Amino acid sequence: MPKKHKPPDITAVLRMQHQFFFGCVGGCCISSMVVMLVVMVMTVEVMVVMVGYTLVHIFTMKTLVLCLLLAGALAAPSRKPTFRRGLNKIVGGQDASPGQFPYQLSFQDISFGFQFHFCGASIYNENWGVCAGHCVQGEDFNNPDYLQVVAGEQDLDVDEGNEQAIVLSKIIQHEDYNGFTISNDISLLQLSSPLTFNSFVGSVGLQSVKEYIGDCVVSGWGTTSEGGSTPSVLQYVDVPTVSDADCRAAYGENDIDDSMICAGLPEGGVDACQGDSGGPMVCGGLLTGIVSWGYGCARPDYPGVYAEVAYFKDWVEANVS
């Protein structure tokens, strides 16, 4: 049975604006700001029809766009892209089967009257999910009843009967989350009612080994190529982790801190991408990374960057107890 998912044209634009003003910060925004703001100008007339903006709002929005374009032109560029959130899947991966990743969550905005997937997350227990800090930036932490997670999800466009959709009751973003450095990029999602665990829905344990070296699996519904379209079926890909030293050599000493872990092949070709943000990287059956950011998607010599779960294990356990 089809789900009430709408093509993310106007929703995507609204979410992009929300991310830009609240979740997109510092140099990591500058590289894509001009493109995004042009989209804002081009779509403002559409928003007039769909959300009732007045002509005054149109004038104000276009004036604001011009101001932001000027600010972007004056700002110093950065190699860091926007977060892997919202519009932009697993690169070089394959379709997952139902129940293959029972800990995977789809994090959705339902305030538009339909379900809009914008981030991934992982099930910690029946009442809590683990996500990226930047996925919740700008949200109402104490009253997030316009956001939900869906467990047991495999195809975003088809109701297969295994899904459990639960609205959030609270969000905890790490108190030291820094949008400029993208450090401490973790958050917790409290559910308004508990999940029912079965063969399609279950939790994943937390990694305790820091700087884990080994093979891992990343899953999500992000774009299947850099700047490409988003698939409806859950994707996954196997990736090896990369040492902190090698990752710092790729991005720079100051861009990779101790709260991050990197994964990917030197030749590129496999990676998480936009729309996978907040989703799991699981190594040896344990949640080891949370999809965070990267330079493009699956580019050679630039591994994907994840929040390192072992670094936050005590923080997670303290906040969900």
Catalytic residues: 134, 185, 277
Q: How many CB atoms lie within 10 A of CB 54?
A: 9
Beta strands in 184-263 (DSSP E): 187-191, 205-206, 215-220, 235-242, 260-263
**Token couple for 150:** 């869906």
Longest dimension (CA), the chain: 56
Minimal CA–CA distance to 162: which of 262, 234, 64, 87? 234
**In this structure, what is the dihedral angle of CA atoms 102, 106, 110, 113, given to the nearest 10 degrees?**
-90
Instruction: Supply 226's token pair.
Output: 């850099």
DSSP code at position 22: I
- Residue 184 makes CB contacts below 8 A (sequence gap 6+) with 133, 174, 176, 177, 178, 259, 307, 312
Give Cα separations from 298 to 6, 90, 274 (angstroms): 28, 9, 11
Pair of tokens at residue 295 = 């330079």
For residue 35, give every residue at least 6 positions away whose Cβ sits within 8 Å of its Cβ, in sequence order, or none.
none
Nearest-angstrom CA–CA distance, 176 and 183: 8
Contacts 24+ apart (CB under 8 A), 138-144: 138/18, 138/19, 138/21, 138/22, 138/23, 139/22, 139/171, 140/171, 141/170, 141/171, 141/172, 141/173, 142/170, 142/171, 144/168, 144/169, 144/170, 144/171
